[in-house]
């Protein structure tokens, strides 16, 4: 090595060791102060996909203020755009013109199934494509003379493959593919960059429809991308314009900063089992909506992996699990291997920096709303008003609009309905046009002001080992993620997960075991597909929260051996829902949770019942056991009994489960019991009418407990519960738990969780007071240990 290289190497090493050193990431396409004009049809008019691009720039480059214009008008083709150039597009004097046309140029009406017999139709279709080339050429020629830099966007797809109720104008997408070739030709002629929406969206849509033929990344009208397609478009735009991946990245090794990107590190300290430092990033994470359409897009594109990387890497840590807090906000737990490989913190939406980014997102949404209203004004002007009326008195415009609506109502009912909405809004919005334009400037400035990053304090702490693995506990079902008839449904509306409040309450009562019900349909939207990452993050968040409280979690798949498949509720063993689908799910879940040291068990299925003779519960369970053990050879597998897991009828319905084979010899069997007459847990009648007795629970548990003892198995009662109004049920509960404890069988009470309200069996505190059942439950936290 030459002396010069030695000096450079020493200098770089010194930089990494100095507090506050930061390596800056690659730059942006759009530079500070530049104006970017998005020009197009209704997809641009709507503003959603380029709102994502704006939001990306505001959060990724908060010190490089750029201005985004919306010059889209619903219904426009290339010729319409050409006619608008002089009046509203070129006057913006944009540094960049981002142009998309084609969806309206191909004349979709020519592809209506009812018209395919028309003479000369092929020629009309070809003429539409030829006109597209000529008109787009004229637009580009005139734009290029202004000195603006041009980005040509290929048209988006028309979904002619999805199984939708909407009329299918088959052939439109093929025509749009011809448009993409024209875009490529003209891009070369005018030295323009091209964004390939068509090819990428087509391929992505095909992947989705292999999983679910009734799904689409577009919308039910087959034309407009809406939320799923808009995010996919934004991803493709950013990728093809070389947007940088990194929000911030730091690597710490042996108590020193080894590498950092786009951030400044200071006050780094290491101690026994702790690492802490202050990090000031130059960017914020890109905030994503937590809603089904966005989550569908994220299952199809690696947005966070490729464009939203906020990486923390800490190597050479002692073996174990660590909790991460930022500004004293608990984020998650990670084991030493995960931290050595690096974790992407954009997955954790409750972090302080993500919450800051969400506030920026709210302002961006307001920006889009105002932009959209301004485009609605332009739609009325360019579609219906003569230019001399654009700034005329309101009364004059109103008279023209009334006459125009009367004409449309007589001659074109479809256009009448559309125009009526726009005209009504126009009369309200037009007088506010100047104020709205000023509001856009104010909102843009607010976005960038709020995007300014601030320092955050990071702290990693080694967690004490979970030393009581294998112990039989008593605990609670923390229900909520199993709620709701809609699948997957909307989080926070149809279903929820337990919060820190629920976990803290359990800890205050010394309960160490949580049975956590969740739904197959939510964690895996299509059979044999990737897990839904947002739902998985919710599930992991509860497991993480339990871990820092030294609590164990039993993952309980709460599906009764059934799930929705393409809108039908099916039983495992049906042709569309084979046994292997459940095994596939558990293989994926085991891969995600195998390194968590507080997973007490994988609960294969809650309460199987009325199974098909050809596919009994035994064979379904065995297939899932086999799949789990391919990935995870140590975590216990919890097998519920058949016939609603009835403890009283265990020998009749579940005796054959003793023949299940686990190469790790680590099965736990789960039974359920309630004390009312039919064992349903509904308790519709009084204690006397239900035939209540002090020993009802013991009597119903005994067949299961004795079966465990005879076969030398471990087991627990996953559900039991009583009404809160009659204290005689408390005696029955107490006797059951005493019996189970004496025989080394644990259990989890049904139920706790945030949405139970005043349900008669719920044990969530009300107005700060314990429910009556708790005075019995808290007496029992651990069962007498038994050997495997």
Q: Residue holding tokens 């949405």? A: 755
Cβ-based neighbour number of residue 477 at 10 Å: 28
What is the DSSP code (8-state) at residue 86? I
CB-based contact 532:525 (threshold 8 Å): yes
- Which residues share a beta bridge with 96? 36, 149
Catalytic residue among 607, 670, 690, 764: 607
CA distance 452 to 87: 36
- Largest CA-CA distance found in the chain, in angstroms, rounded: 95
Supply 507's token pair: 């800890």
Q: Residue holding tokens 């004004």? A: 377
Give the angle subtended at the CA of 471 by the CAs of 470 and 475, to the nearest 5°: 120
Catalytic residue among 282, 310, 627, 719: 719
Is 719 labeled as catalytic in the residue annotation? yes
Would the CA dihedral through 429, 431, 434, 438 be positive or negative? negative
Is 607 labeled as catalytic in the residue annotation? yes
CA distance 205 to 213: 10
Cβ-based burial of 161 (10 A; exposed 0-12, middle 13-18, buried ≥19):
middle
Could you give the angle at which helices 500-508 and 533-547 cross, rounded to 10 degrees?
Answer: 30
Supply 603's token pair: 């609960």
CA distance 479 to 541: 15
Supply 716's token pair: 């627990």
Tell me the three state secondary structure of residue 685: coil
CB neighbours of 146 closer than 8 A, spacing ≥ 6? Answer: 90, 93
Taking CA atoms, 358 is separated from 56, 166, 245, 287, 312, in Å, by 12, 35, 19, 6, 21
CA distance 85 to 144: 12
The upper half-sphere exposure of residue 131, i.e. CA atoms within 13 Å in the direction of its Cβ, equals 16
Active-site residues: which are they? Answer: 607, 719
């Amino acid at each position: 090595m030459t002396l010069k290289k030695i000096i450079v190497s020493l200098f770089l090493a010194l930089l990494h060791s100095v507090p506050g050193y930061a390596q800056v990431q690659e730059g942006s396409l759009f530079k500070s102060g530049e104006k970017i004009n998005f020009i197009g049809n209704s997809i641009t008019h709507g503003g959603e996909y380029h709102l994502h691009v704006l939001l990306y720039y505001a959060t990724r480059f908060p010190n490089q203020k750029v201005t985004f214009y919306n010059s889209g008008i619903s219904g426009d083709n290339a010729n319409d755009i050409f006619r608008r150039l002089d009046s509203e597009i070129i006057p913006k004097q944009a540094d960049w013109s981002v142009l998309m046309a084609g969806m309206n140029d191909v004349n979709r009406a020519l592809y209506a199934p009812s018209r395919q017999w028309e003479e000369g139709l092929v020629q009309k279709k070809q003429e539409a494509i030829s006109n597209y080339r000529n008109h787009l050429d004229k637009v580009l020629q005139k734009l290029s003379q202004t000195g603006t830099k041009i980005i040509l966007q290929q048209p988006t797809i028309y979904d002619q493959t999805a199984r939708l109720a909407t009329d299918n104008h088959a052939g439109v997408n093929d025509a749009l593919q011809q448009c993409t070739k024209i875009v490529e030709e003209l891009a070369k002629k005018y030295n323009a960059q091209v964004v390939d929406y068509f090819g990428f969206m087509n391929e992505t849509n095909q992947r989705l429809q292999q999983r679910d033929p009734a799904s689409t990344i577009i919308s039910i009208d087959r034309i407009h991308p809406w939320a799923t397609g808009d995010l996919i478009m934004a991803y493709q735009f950013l990728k093809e314009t070389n947007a940088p991946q990194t929000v911030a990245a730091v690597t710490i090794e042996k108590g020193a900063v080894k590498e950092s990107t786009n951030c400044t590190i200071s006050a780094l300290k290491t101690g026994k089992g702790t690492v802490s430092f202050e990090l000031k990033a130059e960017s914020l994470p890109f905030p994503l909506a937590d809603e089904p359409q966005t989550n569908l897009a994220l299952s199809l594109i690696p947005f966070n992996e490729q464009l939203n990387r906020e990486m923390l890497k800490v190597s050479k840590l002692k073996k174990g699990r660590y909790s991460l807090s930022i500004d004293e906000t608990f984020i998650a737990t990670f084991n030493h291997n995960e931290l050595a490989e690096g974790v992407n913190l954009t997955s954790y939406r409750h972090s302080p920096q993500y919450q800051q980014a969400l506030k920026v997102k709210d302002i961006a949404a307001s920006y889009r709303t105002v932009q959209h209203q301004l485009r609605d004004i332009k739609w009325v002007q360019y579609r219906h008003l003569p230019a001399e009326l654009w700034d005329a008195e309101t009364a004059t415009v109103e008279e023209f609009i009334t006459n125009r609506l009367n004409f449309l109502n007589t001659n074109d009912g479809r256009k009448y309905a559309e125009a009526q909405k726009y005209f009504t809004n126009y009369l309200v919005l037009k007088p506010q046009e100047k104020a709205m334009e000023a509001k856009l400037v104010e909102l843009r400035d607010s976005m960038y002001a709020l995007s300014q990053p601030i320092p955050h304090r990071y702290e990693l702490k080694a967690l004490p080992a979970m030393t009581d693995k294998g112990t039989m506990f008593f605990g609670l079902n923390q229900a909520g993620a199993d709620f709701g008839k809609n699948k997957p449904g909307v989080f926070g509306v149809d279903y929820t997960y337990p919060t820190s409040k629920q976990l803290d309450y359990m800890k205050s009562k010394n309960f160490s075991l949580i049975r956590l019900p969740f739904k197959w349909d939510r964690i895996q939207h299509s059979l044999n597909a990737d897990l839904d990452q947002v739902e998985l993050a919710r599930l992991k968040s509860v497991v993480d929260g339990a871990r820092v409280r030294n609590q164990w979690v039993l993952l309980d798949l709460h599906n009764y051996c059934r799930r929705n498949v393409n809108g039908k509720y099916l039983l495992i063993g049906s042709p569309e829902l084979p046994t292997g689908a459940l095994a596939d799910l558990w293989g994926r879940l085991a891969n995600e949770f195998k390194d968590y040291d507080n997973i007490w068990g994988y609960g294969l299925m809650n309460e199987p019942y009325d199974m098909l003779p050809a596919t009994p519960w035994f064979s379904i369970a065995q297939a899932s056991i086999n799949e789990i053990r391919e990935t995870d050879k140590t975590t216990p597998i919890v097998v519920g009994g058949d016939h609603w897991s009835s403890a009283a009828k265990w020998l009749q319905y579940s005796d054959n489960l003793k023949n299940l084979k686990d190469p790790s010899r680590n099965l736990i069997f789960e039974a359920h019991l309630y004390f009312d007459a039919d064992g349903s847990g509904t308790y519709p009648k009084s204690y006397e009418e239900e035939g209540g007795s002090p020993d009802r629970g013991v009597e119903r548990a005994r067949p299961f407990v004795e079966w465990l003892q005879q076969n030398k198995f471990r087991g627990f009662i996953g559900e039991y519960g009583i009404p809160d109004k009659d204290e005689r049920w408390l005696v029955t509960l107490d006797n059951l738990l005493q019996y189970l404890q004496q025989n080394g069988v644990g259990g989890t009470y049904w139920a706790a969780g945030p949405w139970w309200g005043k349900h008669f069996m719920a044990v969530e505190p009300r107005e700060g007071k314990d429910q009556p059942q708790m005075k019995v439950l808290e007496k029992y936290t651990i069962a007498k240990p038994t050997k495997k």
